[in-house]
Amino acid sequence: MADVECKLPAVRHASLESKSSPSAATSPAARALAATALVDPSSDGSATTALDVVNRQRRTRCFAAAEHDDGILRDRRRLTDYYFEEVNAAASATDSQHTLPAHVPVLAQSASGDCVKTVRVLQWNINVLHGADNVDFSQPQQAANVVAHIAEANADVVLLQEAWKLGYSPDASPSGWPDSSSRVQELLDSLRGLGYHLVATEHKDDNNNFNPCVLATRLPILRVGDTFSVDRGCHDFDEAMLASRIPELRAARLVELGLSSPLSSDADADVGADSTSVSSSSSSFCPTLTTVITHLHHNEAPAADSGFGIRRGEVRAILDECDVWSERRKRTTPSGADSCASATLFATDFNGARPRDFLPQDFEAQKHCMDRLKQPADDGVATTLEARGFRCTYDAPGMKVPTLTHWTNTVLDFAYLRQDSTQQQCWSVKGTYVIPTTVSDHLPVVHDLVVTPPSGSSSSSSGSSGSAAPTRH
């Protein structure tokens, strides 16, 4: 598809924001939930403990109320009401810790000759523009509401879930869901107008991907993999999933991005098969970032009688493909290049919370609720990722776990980073931010990642920034 020029007007955001909080309709990225702190450069990079994480998180109103009535956690309408309260309260905050810093795009950093690069990634499940109310669908969103947040964040990379036409057949569509495909298409056209190139996990008959996702990038696209199923043949529950009332499977796609080379004039990558388009560079420090485009499944009920395992199986399938890409990169890396300059980012809606992010009494309430709903309180995804060398950005030294990112008043949206070499650290986490908005039933999360040339390299710079980064073990 050709790029479309598009000038977007300044907009106010979802009506619930403007009605409930006078300050919520101002700058969409000016305030963020208390989910960040600048890192201490002297940090030894030691891993944070579960207790550290819990101690940093503020308790939500929802879980405080659930101590007296745990039925709240199974009542979507009341959960959504608490979600609105939390988001609007955060939008009213004026503390400096809630501020999303301005960002200079990576390619502009490259043009200035700065070898230390900060990559800004925004992830967001936009709920196909249905808004935050999935009970009455009373808050449909316009494309401009989403685009305003993305434009102000000025991210280099945007990972969107539920941002394509859903692949449900008419007789299997979720009950009462309005058709928002024209507004979603307007959003995608607007992103192209902002200079983003799009890559999607398409729905195909052989992958049964009913819930496509989109990568929007201003960075050079070096390699685009095929869309592959993360359910069919990847675990023991795919047939049971297809036999459900809504037979939905998921898929994934890997895309490798460069941080230095400009996009070629014909590099419109809205669609494409597995390809390589690596630009040459005179520098030995040529960092790349492989991004995972996916959305883990929301329903583990088909696996309930077998101890669950759907999302864990999906993650293993993706990590196996990531390993293949990493090995291929090692074989094709030019002699003399810094192998530690490459990393993989797995950022999406994980559809499962981590037990470590709850206060003990809140986790017991959450587990009781999940048991009633035939869903796992601990799906094992976090430990699976960590065993393969990935580390959550929230767990980096100096970072904080958000109070919530989802209408269930829990944290379901994560980013895991792995440096694809055990050599000297290059990648680190500078900040994580959650933007308070009721545009969707998920909150947009921003991650600022720093890549620094290793000491002694021809491209090294003294102005390093960030904490110790995750490495592959």
131-149 per-position pLDDT tens digit:
998 888 888 999 999 999 9
Of 225, 451, 190, 456, whose CA–CA distance to 322 is shortest? 225
370 vs 272, higher pLDDT: 370
- The stretch 165-170 carries a mean pLDDT of 57
Contact 238, 251 (CB under 8 A): no
Question: Is the predicted pLDDT of residue 155 greater than 70, yes or no?
Answer: yes
pTM for the structure as a whole: 0.83
Question: Is the predicted pLDDT of residue 446 greater than 90, yes or no?
Answer: yes
369 vs 7, higher pLDDT: 369
Question: Is the predicted pLDDT of residue 472 greater than 60, yes or no?
Answer: no
Beta bridge partners of 124: 160
How many other C-beta atoms can be found within 10 angstroms of the C-beta atom of residue 388? 20
Give the Cα separation of 177 and 162 in Å (integer).
Answer: 13
- The stretch 204-209 carries a mean pLDDT of 60
Q: What is the pLDDT of residues 273-304, one digit of tens each?
A: 444 444 444 456 788 999 999 999 999 999 99
Of 119, 204, 116, 195, whose CA–CA distance to 155 is shortest? 119
The confidence band for 207, taking pLDDT boundaries of 50, 70 and 90, is: low
Calculate what percentage of the chain has a pLDDT beyond 70: 70
Q: Using DSSP, state whether 446 is helix, strand or coil.
A: strand
| Candidate from 57-66, 134-143, 205-214 with smallest mean pLDDT | 205-214
Query: First-to-last CA distance in the chain?
Result: 40
Q: What is the pLDDT of residues 455-465, one digit of tens each?
A: 755 555 444 34
How many residues would you count in the chain? 473
- The stretch 313-325 carries a mean pLDDT of 95
How many other C-beta atoms can be found within 10 angstroms of the C-beta atom of residue 369? 18
Task: For the chain, give the mean pLDDT.
Answer: 79
**pLDDT in the model for residue 154:** 97
> Which helix (H) or strand (E) is 251 found in, with range?
strand 251-258
